[in-house]
Structure 1
């Protein structure tokens, strides 16, 4: 998160004000500074420079994790989080590929056997939220007079920012950037939306994901308090929004859907003024319901791990063009390509490509999947869609690589509009020269599944020569970052 010198700058005027609220426990800026200083001293006295080469963490959001991230930022140690919901076997594969020197992990989330499995070769592991915190505090306090010397004596490694794709359809890809774009993006958003330290930020998305870490860091740099919420705890979500001065947050569409349902049964007073939504398809039905309940406070973004945030839809545009994910904003260019990677005219559909100052440099295997158009590097997105005459982007599906021209999101909207439907996801694959489209849905109450399947097929109608299947599931599976877990969907259908 933010380095020690920035924490101290904020604390000069606001040291005794709340910096983090985590499970009803508040930490002032001075509290956080003390915890960060203790951990810096502990690390620098307990581990050599080789052991402080890089860090991975596996943990839900906690105040303790945020303090550790400030430690790593202060010392210039590269750090990235892993999706704690992934299978242990997948986490082990990622750890071997990233090869960190330290693994920071929440022991409460795993069994002893799983912890041993995650202890890969040449890795130093220690726990978040464990009795070892007393040792850290003791060493940190005893050697506190060495803090400045230890910070100055630590040499940071050359900058290499590591992030991971969501891994909902395959093992996550490792993304490298050799220069940070944060300052430029932060300044644009701060200036456009007039953010200040009074804009308390609710952190509900995981810190391992850019949508959690990046935005939380921006508001923390402003001196705004962070309100940590477990996205599985709906009562905590309601309480935080209604009882605290939360004015900003970043949500995924599935969390917005849950919030809409909660709000329909509870009168919610809130102070929200800026809610950024993205990461997956944001249903038109959900947009309209959310706006009617909470007001014109929603902003939608479009982008991915490799490209950053590239398009925005603001409230007025969202009301007028709810099917669009917005327009490219300053520093971004979005074009549509045909199957020969040539640009097409506005209104014609094709694969979406993005050029941006936020683009990654390469994947960890050295591949750089860019195409050059008019002297610019464009990243090929997974999505298929089109631009209207005013440059608004409309998505059709996430099968850009197979040039699937069917509007799968229209199918989803038709199914979602049925009164008995709780949630729905439409996924597609390409086999033996044909598109296989699968629709999975869950219901609000017990219904005759066979009747519903027939009704959905009638509502959707014919989809060209595609093979269309409809299946009922108990719940549509999502990752903590809001992505539909496609692999989990296919496994559920295979087991049915």
Structure 2
């Protein structure tokens, strides 16, 4: 295992010969900060000080500048202080998070789509001491101290240059769950103990040292955070924009080698005519509709990689372009060092092709929710909360285990109907949910975004021709758009209120 990790890191250029300055920066950074974001930027300042680290709406910062600026900013925070970070994608997010690691402050990454009521509840639940936030969210913030992101520059310029404590206490990194079906929970994320987690992702997604990476996924989301952390390991240049615009993103991509997206953003980009050359498009954060996968592979070439995972388990599997060309619905295979099991309700392995509960084991399983609960575990593996099956060694996700319905005594999976309808001409987006039914116990309802020529009967006939009769949605609603959170996930609780 260690040999494979080292070979993967060497192939990606993470491990390579270093000059005296680069070696010194790497060693001093490790002795000072351990393997943290702070170590990453000090290492970068030694290995490639003048390389662009961040390109955003405010300009360019080099690795040396980010390291020096976060040294100054770190003095504004205290060990074990809990910071609520409510920012869009820009340098302020990255510099605040890095500065927190330099003093051992906790950081709670907040979804920019939370309401005022939700923010107040999260602030209380997570015991936030103060906020670092973009000024646009000022009216939504609870009555706690706040530093607005446009004030960070003054803190940095006027910050002291005195030494920071060596090996500060490890601050907690807390990410909120998506909250698509209820109130968001705080998930405690572990700090990587080595570079093995990076090697796991690099074993299936062939990023390289020095890549220029556009991160369109929100940094507060587990996928955007992973892109940031992996990019730092690679000494990459990170291209960030406060707000997603498909035209601007594709223009940025002309100077990028890779892009991290969530599926809805990828779909928006497919609606524009520009097709820059990229070596890698990495997608995650929600299910990737097969039709979107197919179009991306056709129009951008064999560059699409799709990661299936969650806030709690980090990653479970990654699909390569070749695997999705063979079957665009697959979630691929587990990366290096990852174990995968499909089990029944008694925890026993199911036969290949049979649907069961998905359990995963890797080095980055979360440390539990901040309310003291956790995900179900089985023999060192953790539940993803999803159902799926294996076919020819590839994983296929059937949907959430709490979304499966029993209609007329039959197990019915909304995800299966969603994937089918996403391939229907004229359908742009679709979501399917289960609702109570007096006759059959439960039934499906479909919510469709698409061309005006579509009819409910057209939708039902397509499902009837391809799936079992219990999978046919009795009700079909046509919407201008699906309700989504800031990370692009469909808010099914809102749809359920309509259905």
Q: How would you bin the TM-score normalised by the shorter chain?
A: 0.7 to 0.9
Residues 384, 400 of structure 1: CA spacing in aligned structure 2 closer, same or farther, 3 A cutoff?
Answer: farther
| Deviation readout 1:431-486 (Å, 9 max, x if unpaired) | 77723322111124xx26xx611211222226328863210111012223221111
Residues 234, 182 of structure 1: CA spacing in aligned structure 2 closer, same or farther, 3 A cutoff?
Answer: farther
In structure 2, the partner of 1:207 is 219
Equivalences for residues 80-229 of structure 1 within 5 A = 80-111=108-139, 114-115=140-141, 118-119=142-143, 123-130=144-151, 133-134=153-154, 136-137=155-156, 139-140=158-159, 143-144=160-161, 146=162, 148=163, 151-152=164-165, 156-158=168-170, 160-177=172-189, 180=192, 183-190=195-202, 195-229=207-241
Q: Distance in 2 between matches of 1:184 and 1:363?
A: 24
In structure 2, the partner of 1:11 is 45
**How many Å apart are 1:428 and its aligned residue?**
2.6
Residues 409, 192 of structure 1: CA spacing in aligned structure 2 closer, same or farther, 3 A cutoff?
Answer: closer
Equivalences for residues 218-297 of structure 1 within 5 A = 218-230=230-242, 232-242=244-254, 244=255, 246-262=256-272, 265-266=273-274, 268-270=275-277, 272-297=278-303
Q: Distance in 1 between matches of 2:128 and 2:355?
A: 42
**How many Å apart are 1:330 and its aligned residue?**
2.8
In structure 1, the partner of 2:363 is 357
Q: Which runs of 4+ in 1 moved over 6 A?
A: none
Tell me how many residue pairs correspond in the alignment: 457
SS in 2 for 1:21: strand
Tell whether 2:481 aligns with 1:475.
yes
Gaps of 5+ in 2: 1-34
Residues 329, 110 of structure 1: CA spacing in aligned structure 2 closer, same or farther, 3 A cutoff?
Answer: same
Gaps of 5+ in 1: none
TM-score, normalising length from structure 2?
0.83
Q: Distance in 1 between matches of 2:449 and 2:421?
A: 11
Aligned partner of 1:454 among 449, 452, 457: 457
Residues 75, 367 of structure 1: CA spacing in aligned structure 2 closer, same or farther, 3 A cutoff?
Answer: same
Tell whether 2:37 aligns with 1:37.
no
Root-mean-square deviation over aligned CA pairs = 2.7
Residues 18, 361 of structure 1: CA spacing in aligned structure 2 closer, same or farther, 3 A cutoff?
Answer: closer
Tell whether 2:366 aligns with 1:339.
no
Q: Distance in 2 between matches of 1:463 and 1:107?
A: 52
Residues 196, 337 of structure 1: CA spacing in aligned structure 2 closer, same or farther, 3 A cutoff?
Answer: closer
Q: Distance in 2 between matches of 1:236 and 1:467?
A: 38
In structure 2, the partner of 1:393 is 395
| Deviation readout 1:230-278 (Å, 9 max, x if unpaired) | 4531221121012x1x11222111112112221xx33x232x2122212
Q: Distance in 2 between matches of 1:6 and 1:177?
A: 18
Q: Is the 8 A contact 2:71 2:102 kept in 1?
A: no
Aligned partner of 1:27 among 58, 61, 70: 61
Q: Is the 8 A contact 1:435 1:466 kept in 2?
A: no
Equivalences for residues 66-77 of structure 1 within 5 A = 66-77=94-105
Aligned partner of 1:490 among 482, 496, 499: 496
**How many Å apart are 1:5 and its aligned residue?**
4.9
Residues 273, 2 of structure 1: CA spacing in aligned structure 2 closer, same or farther, 3 A cutoff?
Answer: farther
**How many Å apart are 1:185 and its aligned residue?**
0.9
Residues 108, 57 of structure 1: CA spacing in aligned structure 2 closer, same or farther, 3 A cutoff?
Answer: same
Aligned partner of 2:448 among 441, 445, 448: 441
Residues 101, 431 of structure 1: CA spacing in aligned structure 2 closer, same or farther, 3 A cutoff?
Answer: farther
